[in-house]
Each structure stands twice: as C-alpha cells, then as structure tokens.
Chains A and B, each alone.
Chain A
Amino acid sequence: MNSDTPTETLELTGESCPMPVVKTKQAVDDLSSGALLEVRATDAGSVSDIDGWAAGTPGVELIGQSEEIQADKTVYVHRVRVE
C-alpha cells in the first residue's frame, strides 16, 4: 500500500469549533505509530485550527490539506500522520 494512502478516515462534517480539533486528537490517541488519518470537516476554521494544533502537538504531523465539493458543501480534508 502507498504510504500516502489514509489508513483511517474521520468524518466530521457538520461539526464546529472546537470539535474538529478535539475529535481529531481523540482519534489520534487511539491510533498506532505510522497511521495516516484523513479528517473530513465542513468547518472552514478547521484549516487554520488543525494546522495550528498539529504544529503545537508532539507526535503528529500534518501531511497536507485540500478542499473537495461534496453535495454542494465544501469539505476540508486534512491528512495527519501519527508518529
């Protein structure tokens, strides 16, 4: 499997601040080293928030962020590697 393929997906559409960061953290805690978590949120603030959270949290690395349109809504996709 490609190392850039997410091993887990966390669906957070419809969640607002602070839940995208909080639930991402809770999901990361349950994952083992090397896992790649894809977080899918509709909160526009999650782009800045997850970036800031990953920068200030040991043991996680933000691999990338992108946007998708899904059912007329913008979904912000964050890929977080567990170290």
Chain B
Amino acid sequence: MSTDTETEVTDEHPDGAATRIEELEARIETLEAEMDATAGTEMGDEKSMVIVATKGTLDMAYPPLILASTAAAFGWDVTVFHTFWGLDILHEEQSTDLKLSAIGNPNMSVPNAVAALPGMDRLATTMMERRIAGNDVATIDELLQTSLEMGVDLQACQMTMDLMDYDDDAFHDGVTVGVGAATALSEMADADVQLLV
C-alpha cells in the first residue's frame, strides 16, 4: 500500500513540476508586460518633488523656483506649496517688488545699526537687482512663468491667503488656490523629494 502511494507520487511529480514551471513562466511574462506598460509613467520611474516655500524675500524666492523648473526639465512631477511670505512669490503685484533685507545678514557689508536706517532695504534690493541683471540671471517673473509652462503646480495656501488678506485673483494665472496642509502632506508622503525653503 505504502509502496503504491510512493510510486504514484514519484510518477506524478515530474508532470506536476512541469505544469508549475509553465504557470510560473506565464506569470513572469504577464508581470514583465505590466512593467513595460507602466515604464515612464507615474507608476514607473518618474520622480516627484514637493517644495514648501515660506519666504518672500528676493533671495529666498529663487531657490524654490530654480529647483522646481529644473526638476520639471527632468520630467519630474513638481508641486510648490507657498505659505506665509512665500505667497508673495505668486502674488501678481508683490512678486514684481520682492525685497532684500539689509539687516540681520552678517555677510552684508554694512553694520546692522546702519542697515536699520530708512531706505537701506531699498538700497540693498537695488544693488542685488543690478547684480542679477548684470549676471544674466533670470528674473523671478521669468522663472515663475517658465515653471507654470512646464507644468509645475504652484499652490497658494488658503489659510495664509486669508491671514494676509489676499484674494484668489491677486495671484498669477495658473496658480492653484484653496489648498491646505493636508493636501501638501498627502503629496509629500508620495514624493521622492521634499524640501522646506
């Protein structure tokens, strides 16, 4: 009896193994086809980045826009969430008049006591704007429009829009308004790169 059973198993084993191998090969083919189909799409190797931009001075407006437009050039899915003074980068009027602070920066050539005098921020800003133009550096407006053209999602935080008393239509065309921290967090959770500027 026991001998018969062993013989049955021994006889069945090669066939069963062959069937199993065929099934596995078919499964591998299906999975490979699925991988090919998703390659280069959002489910594939496309990277994503979320930047939170909180500063609205002339110098601090540059890094998020430079990184956003460059990442878009890599084909990444990019979101920049603007909050507090970062909103000024998206604001039609404010974005053309971003200023550099002369005070509180030890690398500035003037002491804080002098930098605190009226008109010093304006002077520091003018000097930086001249340097920007002289070095062929793109303007904030140019970077902003380029980022929008390349599909970067520039978002304005609703809570701080209310806080700063900014209306929806005060922002450049193409800016996403009415988003909050939960939106930013859910995108950050899925992103490959997350930055706070």
Where the two chains meet, the residues of A that have a C-beta atom closer than 8 Å to any C-beta of B are 14-19, 21-22, 24-26, 53, 56-58
Contact = CB atoms under 8 A, between A and B. Distances in A.
A21 B67 CA distance: 11
A54 to B, nearest CB: 10
B136 A21 contact: no
Contacts, number: 42
Contact of B73 (A14, A15, A16, A24): A24
B136 A18 contact: no
Given A26-B150, A58-B45, A18 B40 contact: no
Contacts of B164: none
B137 A16 contact: yes
A15 B135 CA distance: 9
Interface residues of B, number: 17
B50 to A, nearest CB: 18
> Considering residues B72, B75, B135, which has the most beta carbons from chain A within 10 angstroms of its beta carbon?
B75
Contact of A53 (B66, B74, B137, B149): B74
Nearest to B68: A18
> Considering residues A14, A15, A17, A22, which has the most beta carbons from chain B within 10 angstroms of its beta carbon?
A22
B75 A22 contact: no
Given A22-B146, A58-B40, A17 B74 contact: no
Contact of B66 (A17, A26, A57, A58): A17
B75 A57 contact: yes
A18 B73 contact: yes
B125 interface: no
B13 to A, nearest CB: 46
